[in-house]
Amino acid sequence: MQQGNFFQPEIETAPRARIREIQLEKLRKQVAWAYDRVPWYRERFGELGITPADIRALEDVRKLPFTDKKVLRDTYPYGLAAVPLDDIVRLHASSGTTGKPIVIGYTRHDLDVWSDCVARLVAMTGITRADRVQMAFGYGMFTGGFGLHYGCEKLGCMMVPAGSGNTERHLMMIEDYKTTVLISTPSYALHMCEVGEALGFDWKASSLRVGLFGGEPCTPGMKREIEARMHILCTDNYGLTEVNGPGVGGECLAARTQQHIAEDHFLWEIVDPESGEPLPEGAEGELVLTLLDKEAFPMLRYRTHDLTRVTTEPCACGRTHARMDKVRVRTDDMLIVRGTNIFPSQVEDVLQSIEGVAPHYRIVLDNEAGLDRITIMVELKPDAFSDSFEHLDHFRHHVVDRLRQKLLITPVVKLVEPGRIERSVGKSKRVEDNRVKS
Ligand code: DLL
């Protein structure tokens, strides 16, 4: 097994029965902690007629109330705090699409647990203290920057806290500081590829060897593209602000399409997104997470809105912690266009299978005379771009046909020249909904 120096075999390769034992012990404590200290939880428990004493087996987690973004908004900013504010040493926040952000606090203990989780997933990718890590996430309310920073530092890596943006400066830092790991969203990594190529940066000769990407889906197409252009190993880690941030799951070197969940810190469930009812292992559904070791903002049964499958089958790397499929779809990403349900990931799947199409696109929705219209701006790769109108129009028809087969409605497709779709330094924005709601 490939190991970093933060590999914890006693936890990460523990027999499943032992993992469940650890989880139950922690769950009982966590539930009592939330009940005793947070009025919101006590009231919900009261309504459901339960107390912490009802949690006797892991499956009893299903008796507990769900939490979601709405609860955090309703109790904004400190309503779910389980400790005096004096004990909270950090806040992070996530801005949703509307209204106030959601805010999460951390005690000193919470920060320690969080950086342990991150150090573990970083080590899983083969990164060690000998690596020099360049951070391209912003250091701000977003959890990506500080979360991965402290995890890598715990592992003993040299951190280069460059922050987001200023791509040319990033390229200079790779060259001058001989950094070996890049942390960013996969879409920013693609942007860096382009800027580097335009400036004649020699990716093949560069010191960079691993990308630690996350914060948004990294499709197989993006991964192939980044690996081929940057000449690095592209890895993908998952997390969300409400349950600390990055650190929930990460890729080992054996299961490259899945992520191990840190099960000693997170209890996972997969539920039917409509009914909230539990689904059997292996079925696709919404991931629900319960933090098992959180002091400041305990989070029980948090509805992530992320669709995935989880398996506890043994992994070739030897780790026994469950693996989740990479998240491609959020239940709340669904667009309804003229009564048809469309997920951006469907558009992406079609586009990435067409030769000559770059991994950059934008879905624009508007309505004309009361009818929804969906326009898909598709960027072409330089070698597919042409001056010939006929050639482009033929290509456009082909893209429309392929999209129609998948989406079951006919989108307007606009082919745009290389570099035309706006690049982002953080999470990429794929959808622009300009519809006037009546
Ligand atoms: O994006 C935390 C994070 C930062 C994870 C950096 C990894 C690296 P939020 O801004 O709260 O937190 O967004 C969380 O982003 O529910 C997923 O829908 C999506 N997401 C995060 N990581 C991945 C990933 C951070 N690796 C939301 N693959 C989550 C797919 C991801 N989706």
Go through 390-405 and write b for each residue having 16 or more CB atoms within 10 A of its CB, e for each that does not: eeeeebeeebbebbee
Does residue 241's CB lie within 6 angstroms of at least one atom of ligand 1?
Answer: yes
Task: Quote the ligand 1 centre to 306 CA distance (angstroms).
Answer: 10
Does residue 144's CB lie within 6 angstroms of at least one atom of ligand 1?
Answer: yes
What is the per-residue pLDDT for 438? Answer: 56
Task: Quote the ligand 1 centre to 245 CA distance (angstroms).
Answer: 8
- Helix ranges restricted to H, 38-166: 39-48, 69-74, 108-124, 143-155
Closest C-alpha to 246, from 342, 341, 147: 147
Nearest CA to ligand 1 atom 12: 240
What average pLDDT is seen over the chain? Answer: 95
Q: Looking at domain 334-433, what is its CATH homologous superfamily?
A: ANL, C-terminal domain (3.30.300.30)
What is the per-residue pLDDT for 6? Answer: 82
What is the per-residue pLDDT for 2? Answer: 43
Mutate to test the pocket of ligand 1, among 152, 218, 297, 306 (most ligand atoms within 8 A of CB): 306
Using one digit for the tens of pLDDT, what is the confidence trace for 51-83? 999 999 999 999 999 999 999 999 999 999 999
- Tell which atom from ligand 1 comes closest to the C-alpha of 241: 11
Using one digit for the tens of pLDDT, what is the confidence trace for 176-197? 999 999 999 999 999 999 999 9
Q: Vertex 153, ends 147 and 155: CA angle to 5°?
A: 105
Does residue 348's CB lie within 6 angstroms of at least one atom of ligand 1?
Answer: no
Whether the Cβ atoms of residue 417 and residue 385 lie closer than 8 Å to each other: yes
Nearest CA to ligand 1 atom 4: 144
- Which residue is listed with tokens 């996350």? 214
- Tell which atom from ligand 1 comes closest to the C-alpha of 259: 26
Using one digit for the tens of pLDDT, what is the confidence trace for 271-319? 999 999 999 999 999 999 999 999 999 999 999 999 999 999 999 999 9
- Which residue is listed with tokens 């794929």? 430
Mean pLDDT of 419-433: 93
Nearest CA to ligand 1 atom 9: 240
Whether the Cβ atoms of residue 145 and residue 223 lie closer than 8 Å to each other: no
What does the DSSP 8-state code read for residue 67? B
Using one digit for the tens of pLDDT, what is the confidence trace for 201-229? 999 999 999 999 999 999 998 999 999 99
* CA distances for 82 relative to 37, 43, 55, 106, 244, angstroms: 5, 14, 20, 10, 15
What is the per-residue pLDDT for 20? Answer: 98
Does residue 12's CB lie within 6 angstroms of at least one atom of ligand 1?
Answer: no
Task: Quote the ligand 1 centre to 286 CA distance (angstroms).
Answer: 15
Percent over 70 (pLDDT), the chain: 98
Output phi, psi for 430, to 5 deg. Answer: -100, -25
Helix (H, G, I), strand (E, B) or coil at 218: coil
Does residue 246's CB lie within 6 angstroms of at least one atom of ligand 1?
Answer: yes
CATH (residue range 1-331): 3.40.50.12780
Using one digit for the tens of pLDDT, what is the confidence trace for 328-368? 999 999 999 999 999 999 999 999 999 999 999 999 999 98
CA-based radius of gyration for the chain: 23
In degrees to the nearest 10, what's the CA dihedral of 336, 337, 338, 341? -50
Nearest CA to ligand 1 atom 22: 215
Strands (E), 74-146: 90-94, 102-106, 132-135
What is the per-residue pLDDT for 181? Answer: 98
Closest C-alpha to 298, from 51, 50, 34: 34
Using one digit for the tens of pLDDT, what is the confidence trace for 117-151? 999 999 999 999 999 999 999 999 999 999 999 99
List, as one string, the DSSP characters of 363-397. Answer: EEEEEETTEEEEEEEEEEPGGG--S-HHHHHHHHH
Count of CB atoms within 10 A of residue 139's CB?
14
Lowest-pLDDT range of 20-34, 233-247, 414-428: 414-428
**Maximum C-alpha span of the chain:** 73
List, as one string, the DSSP characters of 275-289. Answer: T--B--TT--EEEEE
Does residue 295's CB lie within 6 angstroms of at least one atom of ligand 1?
Answer: no
Report the distance separating Cα 346 and Cα 136, nearest Å: 28
- Which residue is listed with tokens 């339960």? 50
Between the two ends of the chain, the Cα-to-Cα distance in Å is 58
Does residue 186's CB lie within 6 angstroms of at least one atom of ligand 1?
Answer: no
Does residue 184's CB lie within 6 angstroms of at least one atom of ligand 1?
Answer: no
Task: Quote the ligand 1 centre to 236 CA distance (angstroms).
Answer: 10
Task: Quote the ligand 1 centre to 370 CA distance (angstroms).
Answer: 35
Task: Quote the ligand 1 centre to 58 CA distance (angstroms).
Answer: 26
Task: Quote the ligand 1 centre to 213 CA distance (angstroms).
Answer: 10
Whether the Cβ atoms of residue 356 and residue 384 lie closer than 8 Å to each other: yes
Domain coordinates in residue numbering, the chain: 1-331, 334-433
Mutate to test the pocket of ligand 1, among 94, 219, 240, 242 (most ligand atoms within 8 A of CB): 240
User: pTM of the entire structure?
Assistant: 0.95
What is the per-residue pLDDT for 414? Answer: 97
Amino acid at 31: V
pLDDT band, residue 248 (cuts 50/70/90): very high
Q: Is the pLDDT of residue 1 over 50?
A: no
Does residue 215's CB lie within 6 angstroms of at least one atom of ligand 1?
Answer: yes
Report the distance separating Cα 39 and Cα 52, nearest Å: 14
